[in-house]
Structure 1
Amino acid sequence: MRRKGRGEADGSAAQLSETTEMKLRLKREIGLPSAVSLIAGTMIGSGIFMSPEWVLRNIGSPAGSLIIWAACGLLATFGALSYAELGTIIKESGGEYIYILRNFGSLPAFLFAYTSVIVVRPAGVAAISLSFAEYAVAPFYPGCSSPQAAVKCTAAACILLLTLVNCLSVRLATSIMNIFTGAKLLALLVIVIGGAVLLVNGQTQSFQNAFQNTRLGAGAIGVAFYQGLWSFDGWNNLNYVTEEIKKPEVNLPRAMMIAIPLVTCFYLLVNVSYFAAMTPSELLSSGAVAITWGNKVLGNSAWLISLSVALSTFGSAHGTFFSGGRMCYTAAREGHMPDILSMAHVRRLTPSPALIFTSAISLIMVIPGSFNRIVNLFSFTAWLFYGTTIAGLLYLKIKKPELPRSYKVPIIIPIIVLVTSVYLVLAPIIDQPQTEFLYVILFILSGVIFYFPLVRYQYHPAFLRRFTLHLQLLLEVAPAEKNLN
């Protein structure tokens, strides 16, 4: 079996894959409960425990913060419904990458894959792992800040553990996801109930003159959205594993319509609970909002919040890692990444080379990582490509309405998402220009340098083919075909 844009395999590699290539494929292991868990479990991570401070810092008022959180939930829901239609038209794994490839061609898809595989997905895993490490290490250093060396070593250990779990078994990975999703929903429920008790007892001072000090600048709103949307990131994760979902034409839209409104309601109630326990100035000086809330409300049992946040962020990192590896795998299968990344383990049927590669880049990013900076750069890049993907859906709805699809979203919804995406990309650049945004754009465009020799003209050095062969034998992997049945 030969793929367009790939070099010839050497003799031993051909022998290794000869008996497996025609039948090796990732299994459909993800049912509706696991699909809901993958979305909710990835979305509920570090964001709801860290981003409220940054949303408030940028927008200025409690009421403005709640409006931003509600708008982020609505936007994530609209985006997910649009992606659900794309997933029932293009039934391939890979998320934005595969949709951009099918709608706009090879070069834009390669630029997305290049940026996502090397920066966006590993940055997401690194940021969430750093959040996990902060909360996991904090109990060992009461009354003082945790040493950065301990935090970063813990984050690295988290990434290595995720790599091991995901390489061993898809079923094991989804089971762990289900357990952690249940745990984090329980933790949020504790915060919601605690907030309700505070409100009943009359602690409503944060909601008096709730719109005071609200900032309405385009850039301030855009950056506040970045921080809020970071907490909703993961709404599109199911589209990265379409080929592993049971009955995707049914379960893809259904899982999105269950998971995202559920998470949005929890987020709003948790933010109300934070404001019930703390004044805006206390929240801004908190540093770890959930821990401050726990100290004020739970007293000696505040350690439960640290444990809950650590579990929550680990589960979110797990979901981000799970889907990120699939994106890398799909891009390699289409010839936009090295061949070895398109292969799956011959017995475990997991895309282990892509997972290992994602892990390696994430570990590198942990070393100089800063949570707030990673979030802003991640969000800017992500919404640039989300907008491109939604434009592809509008193209299909207008130009190819005859394509079979089991689910259709009203056209006004992707239009709203597209307009919002343009705003989120341009507003911070115009109102609060930062050199980091320029660096991101230059990095994306630098992909052109690699595209023409490696993809367009298919230059594959002999030493790279030999290296691929040795890795293939070492990792016991072989090329896998698409699972579109």
Structure 2
Amino acid sequence: MNRKLKLWDAVMLVMGSMIGSGIFIVSADMMRNLGSGFWLIVVWIITGIMTIAAAISYGELSALFPKAGGQYTYITKIFGKMTGFLYGWGLFTVIQTGTIAAVAMAFSKFTAYLIPSLNEAAPIFQQGTFQITWIQILSIGIILLLTFINTKGMKNGKIVQDIFTASKVIALLGIIVLGFILVKNSHWAENMSFGTQAFQNLKNTSWQPISGVTLLGGIAAAMVGSVFSSVAWENVTFMSGEIENPKKNVVKSMVLGTSVVMVLYLLINLVYLNVLDRNGIAFATNDRTAVAASQQIFGSVGTVIIAILVMISTFGCINGLVFAGSRVFQTMAKDGLFFKAAIENNKNDVPEKSLWMQGGWACVLALSGQYGDLLDMISFVIVLFYMITVFGVIYLRFKSPDLERPYKTWLYPITPLLYLIIGTTFCVLLIFYKPQYTWPGFILILIGVPVYLSINRNQQSKNEP
């Protein structure tokens, strides 16, 4: 592959893939689970530490295996083809494609703020509870458009990514600054007055004090939102084969990109705490905390401002996910673990068929309406694979100590162990206190086992004389 992506492009890919629609809505559910400005900030800080620690740890693997496929390649090289396939299986079935579908739907729903007829229009088709709406059609159109743009060559996808990522970062910085300058009635002192006390009000009835194991469960439930808003930075590793000097630039882009995004996320939440009271954050209409905050900052025009910002943000996010994900499925195909057609590059030197396979399944998920339920339950699986990959850094140090490592994890072994401790705590708490977030993800991955065994059996039969 031609290495056409520079460090700046890689950083834009990291940031653009991370910043989608999550930061504009997840704080509502987080506040319902914790009821305190203090704990809201603590959870975002924990998530930031986790994310940056993982990015730093991944850097060692990106320098060891500077090839397309990224995390899939790392897992396959360290733990074998079956483990690698299960990651790729989860990525194709819902992690990458489901996220594309969900972010495309967010784009369409915020477009409906500007074009109300999209919401008011009757469904195109309805059978029982299943329906096809114009919002779904617009979402599919956006997925197909960005897939098409990316089939026309690396340059097109790169330009879209750079422009839209830079635009949304500038817009977020503007809201952060104006969120402290233009607001006359600050709720900061009120939201912080609870100190280390935590409360829960999941059904908009009354705030009940929580502590002990209930507080731990609340933190884990809140982290589902913050973690999901902070994933997809690893997409840059999928593009390693097309990044200049990947042994250095991939790790630089991950550390720089995740650090900037997590600081932005923390600052945006400080704006929410300054602009809105506890109920205003927790029970914002349709969980759109950013819309409620923007109305307080800018008045009636705030809804339009935030709708345009989310459209910019989600458009760039979808492009980053489409841009990068297809490279994993192409690498899997080369390993005999995905459709052979995905191997080929087109005349523009991009994996066109892999792009269309990814885009097609994302459209099916958008049409089905089931992506939302799947994604609510997938943060657990995402963290699980992050942990497997981070553990791979430690495992390789023992298994192959003499490997030449162009980059070594900063503060090893503290950094990977820190991620593993926080990640394990998060997963264990979810298993005990919020099992509905965990078992569907387990089932999804387990379904991949017979699929892998069937593929492996077919390969062996073909190789027999």
**CA separation in 2, counterparts of 1:330 and 1:78?**
26
Pairs within 5 Å for 1:136-151: 136-141=111-116, 149-151=133-135
Is 1:239 the equivalent of 2:240?
A: no
Decide whether aligned partners of structure 1 residues 395 and 260 sit closer, same or farther in structure 2, where only a CA change above 3 A counts.
Answer: same
The alignment covers a number of residue pairs equal to: 434
Is 1:154 the equivalent of 2:152?
A: no
TM-score by structure 2 length? 0.88
Instruction: Report the AA paired with residue 308 of structure 2.
Output: L
Decide whether aligned partners of structure 1 residues 195 and 145 sit closer, same or farther in structure 2, where only a CA change above 3 A counts.
Answer: farther
Residue 58 of structure 2: aligned partner? 83
User: How far off is 1:459 after superposition?
Assistant: 6.4
**CA separation in 1, counterparts of 2:247 and 2:165?**
24
Is 1:207 the equivalent of 2:192?
A: yes
Residue 420 of structure 1: aligned partner? 422
**CA separation in 1, counterparts of 2:242 and 2:119?**
45
**CA separation in 2, counterparts of 1:107 and 1:52?**
37
Decide whether aligned partners of structure 1 residues 159 and 147 sit closer, same or farther in structure 2, where only a CA change above 3 A counts.
Answer: farther
Pairs within 5 Å for 1:308-327: 308-327=309-328
Per mean C-alpha deviation after superposition, the further-off stretch among 238-247 and 196-205 is 196-205
Residue 135 of structure 1: aligned partner? 110
Is 1:284 the equivalent of 2:291?
A: no
Say whether the 8 Å CA contact 1:137–1:150 is kept in structure 2: no
Of 264, 271, 274 in structure 2, the residue corresponding to residue 273 of structure 1 is 271
Of 167, 184, 206 in structure 1, the residue corresponding to residue 168 of structure 2 is 184
**CA separation in 1, counterparts of 2:241 and 2:379?**
26
Decide whether aligned partners of structure 1 residues 227 and 460 sit closer, same or farther in structure 2, where only a CA change above 3 A counts.
Answer: farther
Aligned residue for 2:323, secondary structure, equals: helix
User: How far off is 1:369 after superposition?
Assistant: 3.0
**CA separation in 1, counterparts of 2:159 and 2:403?**
35
Of 210, 217, 220 in structure 2, the residue corresponding to residue 219 of structure 1 is 217
Say whether the 8 Å CA contact 2:98–2:371 is kept in structure 1: no
Say whether the 8 Å CA contact 1:223–1:376 is kept in structure 2: no
User: How far off is 1:260 after superposition?
Assistant: 1.6
Say whether the 8 Å CA contact 2:186–2:275 is kept in structure 1: no
Aligned residue for 1:458, secondary structure, equals: helix
Residue 450 of structure 2: aligned partner? 449
Unaligned runs of 5+ in 2: 124-132, 200-209
Per mean C-alpha deviation after superposition, the further-off stretch among 201-210 and 303-312 is 201-210
Decide whether aligned partners of structure 1 residues 404 and 277 sit closer, same or farther in structure 2, where only a CA change above 3 A counts.
Answer: same
Residue 204 of structure 2: aligned partner? none
Per mean C-alpha deviation after superposition, the further-off stretch among 275-284 and 218-227 is 218-227
Aligned residue for 1:344, secondary structure, equals: coil
**CA separation in 1, counterparts of 2:120 and 2:283?**
14
Of 150, 154, 158 in structure 2, the residue corresponding to residue 166 of structure 1 is 150
**CA separation in 2, counterparts of 1:453 and 1:348?**
34
Decide whether aligned partners of structure 1 residues 197 and 212 sit closer, same or farther in structure 2, where only a CA change above 3 A counts.
Answer: farther
Residue 342 of structure 1: aligned partner? 343
Per mean C-alpha deviation after superposition, the further-off stretch among 214-223 and 174-183 is 214-223
Say whether the 8 Å CA contact 1:41–1:319 is kept in structure 2: yes
Decide whether aligned partners of structure 1 residues 424 and 263 sit closer, same or farther in structure 2, where only a CA change above 3 A counts.
Answer: same
Decide whether aligned partners of structure 1 residues 129 and 331 sit closer, same or farther in structure 2, where only a CA change above 3 A counts.
Answer: same
User: How far off is 1:262 after superposition?
Assistant: 1.2
Residue 359 of structure 1: aligned partner? 359
Per mean C-alpha deviation after superposition, the further-off stretch among 122-131 and 213-222 is 213-222
Decide whether aligned partners of structure 1 residues 426 and 316 sit closer, same or farther in structure 2, where only a CA change above 3 A counts.
Answer: same
Per mean C-alpha deviation after superposition, the further-off stretch among 51-60 and 356-365 is 51-60
Of 88, 93, 101 in structure 1, the residue corresponding to residue 68 of structure 2 is 93
Decide whether aligned partners of structure 1 residues 210 and 133 sit closer, same or farther in structure 2, where only a CA change above 3 A counts.
Answer: farther
Residue 10 of structure 1: aligned partner? none
User: How far off is 1:310 after superposition?
Assistant: 0.8
Say whether the 8 Å CA contact 1:188–1:266 is kept in structure 2: yes
**CA separation in 2, counterparts of 1:385 and 1:39?**
18
Residue 126 of structure 2: aligned partner? none
**CA separation in 1, counterparts of 2:186 and 2:219?**
31
Pairs within 5 Å for 1:100-119: 100-119=75-94
Aligned residue for 2:172, secondary structure, equals: helix
Say whether the 8 Å CA contact 2:365–2:371 is kept in structure 1: no
Per mean C-alpha deviation after superposition, the further-off stretch among 166-175 and 291-300 is 291-300
Of 24, 36, 39 in structure 2, the residue corresponding to residue 64 of structure 1 is 39
Residue 333 of structure 2: aligned partner? 332
**CA separation in 2, counterparts of 1:370 and 1:59?**
28
Instruction: Report the AA paired with residue 428 of structure 1.
Output: L
Instruction: Report the AA paired with residue 259 of structure 1.
Output: G
Say whether the 8 Å CA contact 1:394–1:411 is kept in structure 2: yes
Say whether the 8 Å CA contact 1:227–1:375 is kept in structure 2: no
Decide whether aligned partners of structure 1 residues 176 and 202 sit closer, same or farther in structure 2, where only a CA change above 3 A counts.
Answer: same
**CA separation in 1, counterparts of 2:298 and 2:195?**
25
**CA separation in 1, counterparts of 2:426 and 2:186?**
38
User: How far off is 1:370 after superposition?
Assistant: 5.9
Residue 249 of structure 2: aligned partner? 251
Residue 369 of structure 1: aligned partner? 369
**CA separation in 1, counterparts of 2:195 and 2:105?**
32
Aligned residue for 2:345, secondary structure, equals: strand
Say whether the 8 Å CA contact 2:151–2:352 is kept in structure 1: yes
Say whether the 8 Å CA contact 1:138–1:146 is kept in structure 2: no
Identical-residue share of aligned pairs (%): 27
Say whether the 8 Å CA contact 2:431–2:438 is kept in structure 1: yes
Decide whether aligned partners of structure 1 residues 210 and 142 sit closer, same or farther in structure 2, where only a CA change above 3 A counts.
Answer: farther
User: How far off is 1:213 after superposition?
Assistant: 2.9
Aligned residue for 1:408, secondary structure, equals: coil
Unaligned runs of 5+ in 1: 1-25, 462-485
Residue 406 of structure 1: aligned partner? 406
Per mean C-alpha deviation after superposition, the further-off stretch among 133-142 and 385-394 is 133-142
Decide whether aligned partners of structure 1 residues 199 and 268 sit closer, same or farther in structure 2, where only a CA change above 3 A counts.
Answer: farther
User: How far off is 1:393 after superposition?
Assistant: 1.3
Decide whether aligned partners of structure 1 residues 168 and 210 sit closer, same or farther in structure 2, where only a CA change above 3 A counts.
Answer: farther
User: How far off is 1:426 after superposition?
Assistant: 2.7
Residue 194 of structure 1: aligned partner? 178
Residue 127 of structure 2: aligned partner? none
Instruction: Report the AA paired with residue 338 of structure 1.
Output: F
